[in-house]
Structure 1
Amino acid sequence: MAQQVQGVIAPGKNEPVRVETIVIPDPGPGEAVVKVQACGVCHTDLHYKQGGINDDFPFLLGHEAAGIVESVGEGVTDVEPGDFVVLNWRAVCGQCRACLRGRPWYCFDTHNATQRMTLLDGTELSPALGIGAFAEKTLVAAGQCTKVDPEVSPAVAGLLGCGVMAGIGAAINTGQVGRGDSVAVIGCGGVGDAAIAGARLAGAAKIIAVDIDDRKLETAKKMGATHTVNSRSADPVEAIRALTAGNGADVVIEAVGRPETYKQAFYARDLAGTVVLVGVPTPEMQLELPLLDVFGRGGSLKSSWYGDCLPSRDFPMLIDLHQQGRLDLGAFVTETIGLGDIEQAFARMHEGDVLRSVVVF
């Protein structure tokens, strides 16, 4: 029988979010209903509200979540009711050319639940990143549920569902940071700080944090940055080169998603170095670079999709590192809030006061 729960929707472009009654259908084949315990407020949710992703309003926001599987549909064998799971937005298909080549983290046919959640009047909702977890319960594809140790706090575990995984994976998986490497991270929000934490995990010798906010730079040092650069007062390219014997960093991770910061990343890397774009641009942004410079500097220019993660591999590993005291996931949680506080959390995000606000049910 369909259930009615409370959830947060974005009704239209730049309109205030509001709490509405959401109808959750019973899970169909390959689907699961998850009782959400915690969900982080991610910048991508704000992008949805602003119309920066698409205009398929109304959106059911929230996607950085952990909870308990309540029920599953026909054919589901990987999870069962009672499992504690982190939700992911790239449920791999296992059949596309990337999966069949043994690269499922690049899956080209990731999927979501087939059925749609609705408002009481039958209006279909578009769940953010196929999840929609600013709700007491949500309907997802069973492959979006990744089992992890139930001893970990849901407020901490859920962050792996998006921003923290994106940043750590950008360093470890996409950038392939190695022991002794120099790394620069441009943009020290939640994703950038996670990239810093990932570079530290990988054994980078020098980690340079770049931002325009001294408060964020202080937090970056707590996450593992060895040096900081305020790009309001210093040229970040020259500063990074000065900190790397004039060469530039081995890996530069751009966690802002703007053409001007991408150019900084491009010129701040060493010859044959790597640039990783993990910041999410908006559709109208354009990038211009001299093609001769692209050729002459060599190396790799990469985009990081979800930290190029494989949730079934990476989520449990990172939870283990957290429980061993080697990765402080709790440091990313600035505050816990209620379902009705999300509009205020977006405002605090703009002000730079938080790494993550986390809705706790």
Structure 2
Amino acid sequence: MTHEVQGVVARHTGAPVSVETILVPDPGPGEALVKVLACGVCHTDLHYREGAIGNDFPFLLGHEAAGIVEAVGPDVQDVAPGDFVILNWRAVCGRCRACRRGEPWYCFDTHNATQQMQLTDGTPLTPALGIGAFAEKTLVAAGQCTKVPEVRPEAAGLLGCGLMAGLGAALNTAPVRRGQSVAVIGCGGVGDAAIAGAHLAGAARIIAVDIDDRKLELARTFGATHTLNSRTDDPVAGIRALTDGFGADVVIDAVGRPETYLQAFEARDLAGVVVLVGVPAPGTTVELPLLDVFGRGGALKSSWYGDCLPSRDFPILIDLYRQGRLDLDSFVTETIALSEVEKAFAKMHSGEVLRSVVVF
């Protein structure tokens, strides 16, 4: 059986997205059909529309999603129809060298659904991050479904990408320890999630850095103890001044530009940690003084999806949300209809929102 649903499609580089009828097949072996309840509008979707992540148009956009499993393939055991799930884009294989050595969060052979969703004329769609959740229903690999207790889907779905990236950068990649000083450069959704993660970990001092005073004020609600506007103040000098002249124990770059990475590198203490979680543009390079790389010690790390294991981390974070210790609701700036995704891209680009969330 094929399901006809409405979904947001990017047909050409830079062209406005459109809501179109798409065909979603019933799940085959290893697959799950999910009724999408909510899906966040992420910068990654805009990157797909702009052609910055491959050229496999047309794309079915959307990936920060929560929903209900409607059907599963004949061999699926971990999820069942009726389960409330958060979708993830790293379904671990359990067989690659990372999985075999006990580090499945680095899985090098993650997988997606085998069958393709299509336009009504038979054109195959490329789902964003293997998910394609700006649609009433989507087909994914069963391993991309993480069962959690049912909560507000607009909030839960954001763990599927951006918020997990930021939280995981602080909690998993760094990892931040109780009493440490942390600076976060870039206070969008990912940066604010990193601030929330540092707060959860018990950081004593959390310094938010951005060029927008509105974002800096919001960062305080997620746990920032100090703020620096890098448009008017030198962030490196500011971070050092707020850490007794030493620099922060952990600096998280949630922007991913050469200048912000250099700021992070220069603003960390001896033996400190730099974590890159902002996604750099293709072709971006950075030049570092090698003697300082050696002399400062510590570590320069990249955070892949917050180095998360969805089956482990999503339920833990949802429990913290239910306990009132992790405010996922504050990341939801507005809820919108499927037809408003293009407008949401403009708002996101201008910094008006942390997350617009499509609700079905």
**What's the TM-score bracket when you normalise by the shorter of the two chains?**
over 0.9
What is the RMSD computed on CA atoms of the aligned residues? 0.6
Mapped to 1, the partners of 2:256 and 2:110 lie a distance apart of: 23
TM-fit CA distance, 1:282? 1.3
Q: Deviations over 1:45-99 (max 9, x none)?
A: 1111111111111110000000000011121000010000000000000011111
Corresponding position: 1:207 with 2:210? no
Aligned to 1:149: 149
| 1:115 aligned residue | 115
SS at structure 1 position matched to 2:175 = coil
Partner of 1:238: 237
* Counterpart-to-counterpart distance in 2, 1:112 and 1:259: 32
Whole-angstrom distance in 2 between the partners of 1:355 and 1:266: 26
Q: Secondary structure at the match of 1:65?
A: strand
Structure 2 counterparts to residues 1-361 of structure 1, below 5 A: 1-150=1-150, 152-361=151-360
Q: 3-state SS of the aligned residue for 2:209?
A: strand
* Aligned residue pair count: 360
3-state SS, counterpart of residue 287 of structure 1 = coil
Aligned mates of 1:278, 1:115 — CA distance in 2 = 31
- Which amino acid is the alignment partner of residue 39 of structure 2? C
State the Cα distance separating 1:26 from its structure 2 match. Answer: 1.2
2:309 maps to a residue whose letter is: L
Counterpart of 2:29, as a letter, is P
Aligned with 2:116: secondary structure?
A: coil
Q: Is the partner of 2:5 in helix, strand or coil?
A: strand
Q: 1:240 is paired with a residue of what secondary structure? A: helix
Deviates more, 1:292-301 or 1:193-202: 292-301
Q: Which piece of structure 1 moves more, 286-295 or 259-268?
A: 286-295
Distance 2:314 2:248 in 1: 28
Q: Secondary structure at the match of 1:16?
A: coil
Amino acid at match of 2:96: C
Amino acid in structure 2 at the alignment position of 1:61: L
**Aligned with 1:302: secondary structure?**
strand
**One-letter amino acid of the structure 1 residue matched with residue 178 of structure 2:** R
Secondary structure of the corresponding residue to residue 269 of structure 2: strand
Matched residue of 1:116: which SS?
A: coil
Q: Percent of aligned positions with the same letter in both sequences?
A: 77
Question: For the residues of structure 2 that align with 1:251 and 1:10, how far apart are their CA atoms?
Answer: 38
Shift of 1:284: 1.8
For residue 302 of structure 1, report the CA deviation from its aligned partner. 0.5
Instruction: Report the Cα offset of residue 134 of structure 1.
Output: 0.2
Structure 2, unmatched stretches of 5+, are none
- The two structures have a TM-score, normalised by structure 1, of 0.99
Identify unmatched segments of 5+ residues in structure 1: none
d(CA) in 2 for partners of 1:69, 1:14: 33
Deviation at 1:33, TM superposition (A): 0.5
1: CA distance, partners of 2:279 / 2:49: 15
Offset, 1:292:
1.4
Q: Kindly provide the CA deviation profile for residues 251-285 of structure 1, in whole angstroms up to 9, marking residues without a partner as x.
A: 00000011110110011100110000000011121
Instruction: Provide, for residues 198-246 of structure 1, a one-character-per-residue CA deviation record: whole Å limited to 9, x for no partner.
Output: 0000000000000000000000001100000000000101100010011
